[in-house]
Chain A
Amino acid sequence: MEPLELISSSFEALGLNKTRTALATLGIIIGIAAVITLMSLGQASQRSVESQIQALGSNLLTVIPGSFRPGDFRSASGTATTLTLEDAHAIATSNKITGVKNVSVELQRRTAITAGRKSTNTAVVGVLPSYKEVRNVALESGNFISEADNRGQAKVAVLGPTVADDLFGENVNAVGKAVRINKVSFQVIGVMASKGGSGFGGNQDDTVLVPLSTAQKQLFGVTYIGSLSVEVADAKLMDTVRDQVGYLLLARHKIANAANADFSIFSQADLLSTVSQVTGTFTALLSGIAAISLLVGGIGIMNIMLVTVVERTREIGLRKALGATRKTVISQFLIESTILTIAGGIMGMILGIVLSFVISKLINLPFVLDFASVALAIGVSGGIGILFGWYPAQKAAKLQPIEALRYE
């Protein structure tokens, strides 16, 4: 019997019981849709976080106070107060450290900021002029904070585009206008260009930059800094500079044992790998759950096929009596179950793509469609058809014509 005839006769057989055919495919549709959606969303969130980390600037080492290892959140940054501006100066000027291009510092707090009657709550960050280069800040209009601003504790602010829009409305130039931060009046001297970050913490568009000295003395009344960033001249020097900065800070803080360090240094790569690990585990977990639903769908197919074999015992007996070989009978049932699962796979894939598109738009994630996951869906659903159709097909092929014909 020719392949094409087998396929068309399988379609005919499936068409004879449409409700059952639809129900059998439903399990596969749901399973494949779940796998595709979860894989796509997992990859999208991973990519989103990665692009945010990359947006921080390249070749960047970040030093934060307190001992913090990735995955250990007990002493998060901001609570410890062991880093100072002098540490940053020492790193920038030490002759024991080679390959440092720039050092910038930050002191960040969330505070209310108002302009007229409008007000918003955002991250106010005290920075040095070097911040602009270290963090790849581009300005949409106005100027960045200057050395003079920092020396004179000038009450000037550079707004992130989101803040500027919130306070002054879209398409209004905020430069020259006044804002109040912590009840202190500041003049807006610049607005940053959008970096287009998304909903996860640390969105640079939603920040306000002020001179570090102003932040320390006028706003928050502290002498320490929140974190410092070291821009390394060459990616190859990252590890060397990291060690050198570490030893320098240990010496400055008079700590003999590196295990007791009151600061932590990490690079983008560390962040990336931690985040990738976390989101990767999460994606794998979700995909695992989705795969179980796929397995259940496969068992559903097997169940339906077994019922079909029993129900069609007489027909199988007749076909064998008229000359159908074992191989033909096996092929027919395998093709039927594979048509079921591949049709379910294609429908589930379409559903999954639509779902992940809608969800990624709703929660403001990039829409990622991996060709591999689509190929996987089709391949897996076809495989399920063969795997779970195998046993029923064997059962059908083993029927003896006379006994099958006698079956009531």
Chain B
Amino acid sequence: MITVSHLGKIYRMDGTETVALSDVSFTVKKGEFVAIMGPSGSGKSTLMHILGALDTPTSGKYILDGQEISKLNDDELARIRNQKIGFVFQAFNLLPRTTAVKNVMLPMVYAGGPPTSRLQRARQALTDVGLADRMEHLSNQLSGGQQQRVAIARALVMNPAIILADEPTGNLATAQSAEIMAIFTKLNKTGHTIIMITHESEVAKYAKRIIHLKDGRIWNR
């Protein structure tokens, strides 16, 4: 499903170079639940952004679903993000002053297709994450845990090949974290491929495999 080989990412700013990733190679098979762990600044988010087609690597290869992503242009990447990837951000990133259901419909809006089925699918996704009674709430009228569940529904709704989550519980209290992790576990059981960044080994327990990063490299202990 996912194959990365010798992935490197160097940030260049005002003459200084920061090596965020170097020589990262691994594969993730369909239906896997992988956690990425590592200390702060180890390149976890950088890796996730590349996997999410939000950023491009400076070197190496990234193949998703048989397609080489590292060679695509802006608009092709936008299409991959829309069709193949469901991204859950640490900071939720919902549209402000917009209802939950409209937030979930957003990826379908960019995909095109009949509006009536969009509404249905959005409602279904919100029901799946347990928010059937909060569809018409504005995003700022929801609790943090509820907002993150809306974000998960939004990541699910296009039925993507893979769900990526960058510290999805990082901004949540423990009780809410457990709810979110329960949702991810359920999603994985129904066949979704999930890659998740986390700091907490509590959270990483839910994953079936853990990739450790340190200073931009994969580290096997």
Contact = CB atoms under 8 A, between A and B. Distances in A.
Given A321-B81, A324-B78, A326-B74, A405 B110 contact: no
B54 A1 contact: no
Given A1-B112, A314-B93, A315-B96, A322 B74 contact: no
Nearest to A5: B109
B75 A319 contact: no
B97 interface: yes
Given A321-B81, A402-B54, A327 B96 contact: no
Contact of A323 (B49, B82, B91): B82
A121 to B, nearest CB: 70
Given A401-B54, A402-B49, A319 B106 contact: yes
Given A5-B109, A402-B55, A327 B75 contact: yes
A318 interface: yes
Given A324-B110, A402-B55, A405-B89, A318 B95 contact: yes
A322 B110 contact: yes
A146 interface: no
B109 A325 contact: no
Contacts of B91: 405
Contact of B93 (A1, A9, A318, A324): A318
Nearest to A318: B93
Interface string B105-131: 011011110010000000000000000
Given A319-B106, A402-B49, A402-B55, A325 B93 contact: no
Interface residues of B, number: 26
B83 interface: yes
Contacts of A319: 106, 110
A320 interface: yes
A326 B95 CA distance: 19
A328 interface: yes
Interface of B is mostly: helix
A148 B81 CA distance: 102
Contact of A322 (B75, B81, B112, B115): B81
B112 to A, nearest CB: 7
Nearest to A6: B109
* Secondary structure dominating the interface of A: helix
Given A318-B95, A319-B106, A405-B89, A325 B55 contact: no
A16 interface: yes
Given A318-B93, A405-B89, A323 B112 contact: no
Contacts of A16: 97
Interface string A321-364: 11111111000000000000000000000000000000000000
A72 interface: no
Contacts of B74: 325-326
A97 B49 CA distance: 96
Could you say which of A2, A16, A315, A323 has the most chain B C-beta atoms within 10 Å of its C-beta? A323
Given A401-B54, A402-B55, A405-B89, A323 B95 contact: no
Interface in B39-93: 49, 52, 54-55, 74-75, 78-79, 81-83, 87, 89, 91, 93
Nearest to B106: A322
B111 A323 contact: yes
Contacts of B154: 322
A327 B107 CA distance: 16
Given A1-B112, A401-B54, A322 B107 contact: yes
A318 B150 CA distance: 14
A323 B87 contact: no
B79 A323 contact: yes
B131 to A, nearest CB: 19
A402 B52 CA distance: 10
- Most-contacted residue by chain A among B81, B82, B109, B154 (CB, 10 A): B109
A1 B96 contact: no
Contacts of B115: 5
A353 to B, nearest CB: 37
A200 to B, nearest CB: 59
A213 to B, nearest CB: 89
B32 to A, nearest CB: 23
A352 B181 CA distance: 62
A322 B107 CA distance: 5
Contacts of B106: 319, 322
Interface of A: 1-2, 5, 9, 16, 314-315, 318-328, 400-402, 405
Given A322-B107, A402-B55, 9 more contacts: A318-B93, A319-B110, A321-B52, A324-B78, A325-B75, A325-B110, A326-B78, A400-B55, A402-B49
7 contacts: A2-B112, A314-B93, A315-B95, A315-B96, A320-B78, A325-B79, A325-B110
